[in-house]
Amino acid sequence: MDGKKTVTIYVEGKPHQVEEGKNLLDACLSLGYDIPYFCWHPAMHSVGACRQCAVKQFRDEKDTRGRIVMSCMTPAADGTRISINDPEAVKFRASVIEWLMTNHPHDCPVCDEGGECHLQDMTVMTGHSYRRFRSRKRTHRNQYLGPFVNHEMNRCIACYRCVRFYNDYAGGRDFGVFGAHNYVYFGRYKDGVLENEFSGNLVEVCPTGVFTDKTLKRHYTRKWDLQTAPSICVHCGLGCNTIPGERYGTLRRIRNRYNGEINGYFICDRGRYGYEFINNENRFRFPVRLERHGDGEKTGTFGSGEVIPHIKSILQRARGVIGIGSPRASLEANFALRRLVGKERFYQGTSAGEARIMADIVNILGNGPARTPSLRETESCDAVFVLGEDLTNTAPRMALALRQSVMQQPARLAAGMKIPRWDDKGFREAVQNNKGPLYIAHPHGTKLDDAAAAVFRGAPEDIARLGFAVANLLDDNAPGPVKDLPGEASSLAEEIARALENAEKPLVISGASLKTPALIHAAANIAFALVKKGKPACLSYAAPECNSMGLSLMGGAPMEDALKTVQAGEADTVIILENDILAGQMAPDQAEALLSARNVILIDHLPGRTSSMAGIILPASTFAEGSGTFINSEGRAQRFYKVFDPSGDIQESWRWLRDIMVDMAYPGASGWLTLDDIVSSLSAEIPGLRAVANAAPPEGFRMAGMKIPRQPHRYSGRTSMNAALNVHEPKPAEDHDSPLTFSMEGYAGQPPSPLIPRFWAPAWNSAQAVNKFQPEVNGPLRGGDPGVRLFEPKENALMDYFGKEIPQAFTPEKERLFAVPVYHIFGSEPLSSLSPAIAGRIPAPYIALRPEDAEKMRVPEGHVIELPPFGSLSVRIDGSLPEGLAGIPYGLPGLKDMELPAWINSPAAAKKGGQ
Amino acid sequence: MLSVLKAIWAVLLHMFRPRVTVQYPEERPHIPPRWRGRIILSRDPDGEERCVACYLCAVACPVDCIALQATEDGHGRRYPEFFRINFSRCIFCGFCEEACPTYAIQLTTDFEMGEYVRQNLVYEKEHLLISGTGKYPGYNFYRVAGLSVKGKDKGQAENEEPPVDLKSLLPGRMESEQ
Ligand code: SF4
Ligand code: SF4
Ligand code: SF4
Ligand code: SF4
Ligand code: FES
């Protein structure tokens, strides 16, 4: 228990050592005892609302009468004596549940929570099995809460977990508790979409079926029927751990997979509801050939065994082959492409701007003195400065972590009053609205601003200048002082510098989203200066995609250089990996020029703009249909596993590339039979990726000689699900890549943390079963949390300050506006945008204008203007924008993009096209 | 030698015992009503499908021969989109019937299911669904459940109060006060 003081408590007379400062419920669950509970949550602590966790406490050895206490509200102090099995306590708990159930509807068979319901589990645990209450049940009307969460209020037991999560933990404002006594109602003040980006967690937080997953409802499957495997979210750079579940060949839902270092108990709604692109009916399932004859286009598929020889003949006749990698594809896929085309002809599938920023980040985190924190550490940082990242929309889970980090300094206040952190009501009462120092500098208002001590608005350059000024204030040797800093900014810089300097663990955050290298450098300078002062400063960068970090570590020139190679006639064949280059990254005319190379071979899962210009398309697996490795923005290599065997010819991209190489007799290629083979090749070849091989156990790993089943032991319908097609059951798919198996047979106990396919333990069917996988509740999983960190600052690492030239202050112009990209959690990420639930939340393309500018142009809110190259945009008035700036949403489907930030002609000139 | 004589003696004695072989199918055996034969899906007294697609029968089935998919009508009523029993695997244990919370799935007295082609033993919902209530008349799950369905709003199920008016400040109506 890493140096923390321990105390002795006695449970049923047996002494146990537990960490000091816990409550009894937490301590007993950590010790492996079962105590039923509802309102306590490991991340949200105790409020003592449900009275379910009652135990008997005794004064001393001689006390035999004892008294009933709520274990979640009683400290595990030295010498505490309790009994869980005391008959009076048992009876008390049984009557509490009976009483909670008096109004509970007779819904289990039609309730989506059934089979993973904490209320069911606790009812069974307390032994209540027969309804004696004969009076009427109170009923409630439900609300429409948007496309993510279903509401069935009758099932509520008034534990208050939902409000405590939504409002207190996640900072939501459009949800609450209404009414009184047995009428209490949990919902919105009226029907409407839940606004908070973490609303989906209500599904797991609520111990009953009041809040359930609305996307799951459309293809409902019980937990025991879902085939699951450990996976990684692909919808931003944070790499939250997830559990996708499959049934009958389609993905049914995503659940949080606890990783104490990253997502903990919560993921964002993009990660939870973005999965349905996998079930899209337009998926490529077989290799496709697209031939253009004059104006006409002909598509056809390849017969089995035809496509590889066909590609071989193309590649053999080609005058130069180049490969375009992808920040969304696995390390293995990128590596295989790099091997096929050669290191010099492998291009990162990102723009020059992004590639340069990512290279800087890798350099700073890999060689600099500041440590990149996990999200768990982020929560423990007590002063934070965010430079130019709208985290709620670009790295959502990090924004949720910052909402906890602002509680760090006020926590001292509560500690001074001797209020333990687990006493959540007391704690919040003590700290009131106090918030620790969080400073956000961004061109426009962000959702996290309400948690900030102060915000700064400015163009990206001005934010960088603020950052350089802070660094210079912390250390004279850092570049600066920044010339002509406006008075307000310089006093803010001083405030921020002081806050960071006085913090125990300061954190600086920036990222790639504004495509401004100066921001990256300014953030690094601040962190370096703090380290010089002896602070354990942390430095975080939000990466744009799930494997941006991995791609950058692999290296390669940006896409613009690929175009040059093609235009110089050095290559006429382009292989593109899981990348819709026409839909982002590159200016459309450039991308089109690149795609007009003689042969374009695309390996991808879904049609996009690029696929319509490709000659050959190979069907690639998505994250749920293949295994591989991603590196998240923290620099943590994490393995994701195939959840189910897809139909058609779909396979991992690296396997397609390997097949081509084997056919072309590349040396060594035929040795790549399994994932382990290619992982060991890549970790041997690329120095920065050596540790990747340790991210998860190899295929040969066994528990008691057995593989780990992807299907729960109660998986149903095995001998019937395919019987309509053929009454003879097919052989189950084999997995040569991992110690998991596509079966319900195998090791029944707990596997090592990177291989946990689902959280389930005897008597614990709900998501609350996680506590059985942690030696300490809310701590790391048994054996350590999954993934390996690639970056650790070396002892006495030093790095020169950046920015010999501090950027010039931004000067607004009369005729033009400087457009910055505005990110949207729902819309700015292309894969999730294809999922119907997310699609329903994507805003229509718009341009954000200052009220002054809009007035000058005489365009009211909602007015539609034509603005090349973007197309039709409706006007949104945004008072938070500084002078000279406009905002344009990033990456929305249907919005023709150019790389932002950039100067655009003031829409006034183009206004005529409007209504 | 002795054992052979014993065997012949035994055969001789059997010749005078009454016959047990039944001349099926001319002669029908007596089948008790709780016999576990061909499985059917029944309807509730209102003529609607009883099965609410809860998957309990499927998970109870020891040979995993029941597969189904839940779906909903436009008014929140859940029912199976497909429901399949592979009778070539079924061992007629009756666990599904025991597990069923709605009396939808029932085992019947029909055991004459022989087929020449195994594939024909795969029954879909259209083969399973009968038009009556089967062994259990009267029960209608949706009249008891809290979920609202077409024709039954919140508060209209058995033993339910009308929906709470959240805007009201009056204390809750108690059963005893009525
Ligand atoms: S919340 Fe749980 S106990 Fe209540 S109806 Fe749903 S599954 Fe049953
Ligand atoms: S809705 Fe769920 S989480 Fe909220 S109080 Fe009711 S039972 Fe608890
Ligand atoms: S924060 Fe990022 S990685 Fe985590 S669930 Fe959301 S989109 Fe996925
Ligand atoms: S147990 Fe009954 S209600 Fe549930 S799926 Fe089976 S037949 Fe339908
Ligand atoms: S868990 Fe202790 S009172 Fe609810």
How far away, in angstroms, is A99 Cα from ligand 1 center?
15
Do A70 and A145 fall within a single domain?
no
CATH number at residue A213: 3.30.70.20
Question: Where in chain B are the domains?
Answer: 29-143
Amino acid A3: pLDDT: 60
Taking each helix axis from N to C end, the angle separating A408-416 and A424-431, rounded to the nearest 10 degrees, works out to 100
Residue A734, SS3 per DSSP:
coil
| Ranges assigned E (strand) in A703-798 | 708-709, 740-741, 788-789
| Ligand with an atom nearest the CA of residue A198 | 3
Q: Are residues A154 and A95 in the same domain?
A: no
Tell me, yes or no, whether A40 and A173 share the same domain. no
Query: Could you tell me if residue A405 is inside a domain?
Result: yes
Structural domains of chain A, count:
4
In-domain check, residue A210: yes
Q: What is the pLDDT of residues A423-477, one digit of tens each?
A: 999 999 999 989 999 999 999 999 999 999 999 999 999 999 999 999 999 999 9
pLDDT at residue A498 in the model? 97
| Predicted complex ipTM | 0.93
pLDDT at A814 over 80: yes
Is A515 found in the same domain as A378? yes
**Which burial class, exposed, middle or buried, applies to B26 when counting CB atoms under 10 A from its CB (0-12, 13-18, 19+)?**
exposed
B85 to chain A: which residues are within 8 Å by CB?
720
Q: Which of A109, A178, A719 sits opposite B52 (nearest CB)?
A: A109
Q: Which domain holds residue A153?
A: 137-218
Contact A222 B55 (CB under 8 A): yes
pLDDT at A898: 75
Domain check: are A443 and A520 in the same one?
yes
pLDDT single digits (tens) A591-610:
888 888 899 999 999 998 88
Q: How confident is the model at residue A584 (pLDDT cuts 50, 70, 90)?
A: low
Given a cut of 60, is residue A63 above it in pLDDT?
yes
- d(CA A845, CA A889) in angstroms, rounded, equals 7
Would you say residue A900 has pLDDT above 90? no
Across the interface, do B64 and A716 touch by the CB < 8 Å criterion? yes
Q: What is the pLDDT of residues A17-61, one digit of tens each?
A: 999 999 999 999 999 999 999 999 999 999 999 999 999 999 999
- Whether the pLDDT of residue A899 is over 50: the answer is yes
DSSP run (H or E) holding A332: helix A331-341
CB contact under 8 A, B163 and A727: no
Contact A105 B147 (CB under 8 A): yes
Query: Taking a C-beta distance cutoff of 8 angstroms, is the pair A444, A878 a contact?
Result: yes
pLDDT in tens, chain B (178 residues): 899 999 999 999 998 998 888 888 999 889 999 999 999 999 999 999 999 999 999 999 999 999 999 999 999 999 999 999 999 999 999 999 999 999 999 999 999 999 999 999 999 999 999 999 999 999 999 999 999 999 999 999 999 999 998 877 776 554 333 3
Best of A102, A107, A110 to disrupt the B interface (most B CBs within 10 Å) is A110
B155: left (phi over 0), alpha (psi -120 to 50) or beta: left
Instruction: Decide if A718 contacts B64 (C-beta within 8 A).
Output: yes
Helix (H) or strand (E) holding A267: none
Mean pLDDT over all residues of chain A?
94
**Residue A855 domain-assigned?**
yes
pLDDT in tens, A149-200: 999 999 999 999 999 999 999 999 999 999 888 889 999 999 999 999 999 9
Mean pLDDT of the region A663-685: 95
**B86, B124, B144 member nearest A719 (Cβ):** B86
Are A53 and A194 members of one domain?
no
Look at residue A287 and tell me if it is in a domain.
no
Q: How far is CA A65 from CA A58, A71, A73, in A?
A: 7, 17, 20
Question: A642-653 burial, b for 16+ CB within 10 Å, e for fewer?
Answer: bbbbbeebbbbb
Instruction: Tell me, yes or no, whether A522 and A429 share the same domain.
Output: yes
Q: What are the DSSP calls for A847-908, one per residue?
A: EEE-HHHHHHHT--TT-EEEETTTEEEEEEE-TTSPTTEEEEESS-TTPPP--SSEEEE-GG
Specify the pLDDT at position A42: 96
- pLDDT for residue A613: 87
Question: A196 and A88 in one domain?
Answer: no
Mean pLDDT of A739-745: 96
Residues of A in contact with B173 (CB under 8 A): none
Cβ neighbours of residue A214 closer than 8 Å, sequence gap 6 or more: A147, A148, A149, A150, A837
Nearest CA-CA distance, residue B71 and chain A, Å: 7
CATH architecture, domain defined by B29-143 = 2-Layer Sandwich (3.30)
Q: Model confidence at A239, in pLDDT bands (50, 70, 90)?
A: very high
Contact B122 A717 (CB under 8 A): no
- How far is it, in rounded angstroms, from Cα A891 to Cα A868? 15
Q: Which residues contact A701 (CB under 8 A, 6 or more apart)?
A: A739, A752, A755
Nearest CA to ligand 3 atom 5: A271
Q: Quick one: which atom of ligand 1 is closest to the CA of A107? A: 5
Spacing, Cα A35 to ligand 5 middle (Å): 10
Q: Specify the pLDDT at position A908.
A: 62
Percentage of residues in chain B having pLDDT higher than 90: 83
What is the distance in A from the centroid of ligand 5 to the CA of A48? 4
Q: Do A716 and B64 touch, CB atoms closer than 8 A?
A: yes
pLDDT score at A295: 67
**What is the pTM assigned to this prediction?**
0.95
* CATH (domain of A451): 3.40.228.10
Residue A882's CATH number: 2.40.40.20
Instruction: Give yes or no for A176 touching B (CB within 8 A).
Output: no
